Structure 1
């Protein structure tokens, strides 16, 4: 059985309600709404935080709106949302702001990613998102059958520098776009320039002060530690 098929079957088992197992397979929450899952919209805590929710539109590596994203919103479990709002508040004292690409990710969205990765005929986004990789290499390190985002405490974001009046803000140069599959996106990549490393470090320092840990393969990816529900994933839609 190929990896795309096995990954899809694994997701299907989760969506049918498989319980957590000794090998660390997570439990799928029975929650049907964000409120039932304890997920809150970050804008309840930071009303004007900058958002560019990629999977709610077509500007992403799949090239189409992703299953489960019915609105361009950022939901997180309350402890993670509160911590992220504190990061945003602290940054504003330095004329900086966050820009959010993704937060909680429904399990059905991850299944969509796996199906896309298994369709080798669809190469539309290769030039922008994986120019130096064979698409068959994406399943595994880059696209996993279960995402930490589905646990509700992980966010993908970047850092913006604003002018002295905080009226115009521009994303800092991090060396790659969001969801670039390749080693240049690794936080400590030697291929990044010194200025890009400095910008990545500004983001990491701001996030670490509030308990977020970076994923070393992606400069944009941060998870609150300890996670509020480390053994549970959710599949409520973002709407």
Structure 2
């Protein structure tokens, strides 16, 4: 079974590489380690930044650890990591902090998502992650065969408000949890309350000040602009 999974992964990644060269989408890097790819751990720059790396555990829409996540770490290309550390620093002056859900995402993890989305018999996470959608609708708008996260400059995160002593921080209400598939997750969704919109806007302004742009379908999703390697995706494990 393990051999079969490796063969499927190899075929999938080879297809991604061929697809990249055929239509101009990013090509798969030959890097086999984070160092070779130029990826750094955000905690080298912001040692105590809050992390809840969802795909390293089972609290995610797949319902189990995702391929390629061998440790709960946030890896990013250095320019993106430096910009994110500046966001965290600026927010702390206002007794606010970031909480990270995902950063660089190996291509093999994206292939895992695609396989999961194609298994319509697995509906375990529907109540939490796609209560208003049929699972068959997730491929395309929500789950694609190539993810910007694999280029190393995209991060999923939320905003926390801390007390005056910065000892207790609580995530602000954003209207949905991370990886909610539905229109309420759209950054400007009219379904969100005024307070939720205000919290999303505070996060958006903080990220934009350091060069990150938001993905309109997901309030939590930001990419450094310009990206350091817009024509390359990576598949080194997170470890």
TM class by smaller structure:
over 0.9
1:90-145 alpha-carbon deviations (Å, 9 max, x no partner):
00000000000000000000000000000000000000000000000000010000
If the length of structure 1 is used for normalisation, what is the TM-score?
Answer: 0.94
CA–CA separation in structure 2 for the residues paired with 1:21 and 1:63: 33
SS of 2:23's equivalent in the other structure is coil
Report if the CA contact (8 A) 1:11-1:146 is conserved. no
Q: 1:25 deviation in Å? A: 2.4
Distance 1:189 1:37, change over 3 A: same
For structure 1, list consecutive stretches of 5 or more residues without a partner in the other structure: 1-7
1:61-83 alpha-carbon deviations (Å, 9 max, x no partner):
00000000000000000000000
CA–CA separation in structure 2 for the residues paired with 1:134 and 1:171: 29
Q: 1:21 deviation in Å? A: 2.5
Report if the CA contact (8 A) 1:14-1:27 is conserved. no
CA–CA separation in structure 2 for the residues paired with 1:104 and 1:65: 15
Select the structure that is richer in helix: 2
CA–CA separation in structure 1 for the residues paired with 2:106 and 2:33: 11
CA–CA separation in structure 2 for the residues paired with 1:40 and 1:214: 22
CA–CA separation in structure 2 for the residues paired with 1:23 and 1:202: 37
SS of 1:85's equivalent in the other structure is helix
SS of 2:230's equivalent in the other structure is coil
Report if the CA contact (8 A) 2:33-2:237 is conserved. yes
Match status 1:198 vs 2:198: yes
SS of 2:99's equivalent in the other structure is strand
Q: 1:26 deviation in Å? A: 1.5
Report if the CA contact (8 A) 1:42-1:85 is conserved. yes
SS of 1:192's equivalent in the other structure is coil
CA–CA separation in structure 2 for the residues paired with 1:197 and 1:160: 15
What is the count of residue pairs matched by the alignment? 231
Aligned residue in 2 for 1:5: none
